[in-house]
């Protein structure tokens, strides 16, 4: 899911350009004094105070084999009974617990980006980092008093710098992508149906953000009904607000598949199209889908495949029936270029 990042360079330049000719240009000279070109008086530059890095008070890092993660249990709020939940990480009080995450994902979390933006095929990133089963680590750490969960990525970044000698820089590239757009004659989407908690159980606390950055509760189940296998994944984006939801039904050996997106915004649908269909294989190039429909609100969207073929042609045909289509485009993508990274951490 998308993690929002701040493009400070662009913001600074917009502010600079907004002033037009009235802005005075400055240039540094010896002695730390800046001289203004224009009518502004000279001023003495003030030293910028250094901002201490956020860091954990104590941290333990241990290599862990894929499949041996010791996931915790959580209480299913619909039944009050314990249920195992695959938290990637969580914060309880001042304790940060990571139950087994690839080094690639740890770097991504530290920089608040999605892991695919460390794609070695596009960026200067060590190839070995893609061996996510081999380079996995469990982390137990204590946060300083008064710190908040939102500061965890900054503390994790410091931890990676100190223990894995991480050195990296940000870069922006143009990436091929698809845009979800409105067809010429408008859409024929179905109005969203009402959903409640009874549609799925158990409900657990999630740890994966939606496109708007919220981290909802989630219910993820698979059932077999006759010759059909039904997989349901539904979110509670705010207390009592159930949805969006994806229900996938596979029928028999024919792989006939029925996809139902309930109460989904076009932004969520665009992201789901990329995750569910366009990036299905581990060796496929990463493809983004952005919403450019201009359609507000939530809707129900149905996609059908008679052969189980989740290809672009299948998507295009299904979307066209509802007044939507995909078109090729390019988008700016912020990435992290890794300059240095050790495969194993220094000792605890």
CA–CA separation, 2 vs 12, rounded Å?
23
Tokens matching residue 323: 């007044």
CA–CA separation, 208 vs 2, rounded Å?
10
- Per-residue confidence (pLDDT) for residue 207, from 0 to 100: 61
Instruction: Check whether 255 has a pLDDT greater than 70.
Output: no
Give 149's Cβ-side CA count (13 Å radius): 8
Partners of 235 in beta bridges? 218
223 vs 145, residue with greater confidence: 145
User: Which residue, 270, 239, 256, is CA-closest to 310?
Assistant: 256
Q: pTM of the predicted model, to two decimals?
A: 0.58
Residues 7-46: pLDDT tens digits? 222 222 222 223 333 323 223 322 222 222 233 344 445 5
CA–CA separation, 250 vs 304, rounded Å?
10
- Per-residue confidence (pLDDT) for residue 182, from 0 to 100: 94
Tokens matching residue 178: 């698809």
Instruction: Check whether 210 has a pLDDT greater than 60.
Output: no
**CB neighbour class for 10 (10 Å; exposed up to 12, middle 13-18, buried from 19):** exposed
- Per-residue confidence (pLDDT) for residue 46, from 0 to 100: 59
Task: Look up tokens 């912020």; give the residue.
Answer: 334
Residues 83-136: pLDDT tens digits? 555 557 778 889 998 888 889 889 988 988 866 666 544 445 688 888 888 899
Report percent pLDDT > 70 for the chain.
Answer: 67
CA–CA separation, 74 vs 87, rounded Å?
10
Q: What is the mean pLDDT of the chain?
A: 75
């Amino acid at each position: 899911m998308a993690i929002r990042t701040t493009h400070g360079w662009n913001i600074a330049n917009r502010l600079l350009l907004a002033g037009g000719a009235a802005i005075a240009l400055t240039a540094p000279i010896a002695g730390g004094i800046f001289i203004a070109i224009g009518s502004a008086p000279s001023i003495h530059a003030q030293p910028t105070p250094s901002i201490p890095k956020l860091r954990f008070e104590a941290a333990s890092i241990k290599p862990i084999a894929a499949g041996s993660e010791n996931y915790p249990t959580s209480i299913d709020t619909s039944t009050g009974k314990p249920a195992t939940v695959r938290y990637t990480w969580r914060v309880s009080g001042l304790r940060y617990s990571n139950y087994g995450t690839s080094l690639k994902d740890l770097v991504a979390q530290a920089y608040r980006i999605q892991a695919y933006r460390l794609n070695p095929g596009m960026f200067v990133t060590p190839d070995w980092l893609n061996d996510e089963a081999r380079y996995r680590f469990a982390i137990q750490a204590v946060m300083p008093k008064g710190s908040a969960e939102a500061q965890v990525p900054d503390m994790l970044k410091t931890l990676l710098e100190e223990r894995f000698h991480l050195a990296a820089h940000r870069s922006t590239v143009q990436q091929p992508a698809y845009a979800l757009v409105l067809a010429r004659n408008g859409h024929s989407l179905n109005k969203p149906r009402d959903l409640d908690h009874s549609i799925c159980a158990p409900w657990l606390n999630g740890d994966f953000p939606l496109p708007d950055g919220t981290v909802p509760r989630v219910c993820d189940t698979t059932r077999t009904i006759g010759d059909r296998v039904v997989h349901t994944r539904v979110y509670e984006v705010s207390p009592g607000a159930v949805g969006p939801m994806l229900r996938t039904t596979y029928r028999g050996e024919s792989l006939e598949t029925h996809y139902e997106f309930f109460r989904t915004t076009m932004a969520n649908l665009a992201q789901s199209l990329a995750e569910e269909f366009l990036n299905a294989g581990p060796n496929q190039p990463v493809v983004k889908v952005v919403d450019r429909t201009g359609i507000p609100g939530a809707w129900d969207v149905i996609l059908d495949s008679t052969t189980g073929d989740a290809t672009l042609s299948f998507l295009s045909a299904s979307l066209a029936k509802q007044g939507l289509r995909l078109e090729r485009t390019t988008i700016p993508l912020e990435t992290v270029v890794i300059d240095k990274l050790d495969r194993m951490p220094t000792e605890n």
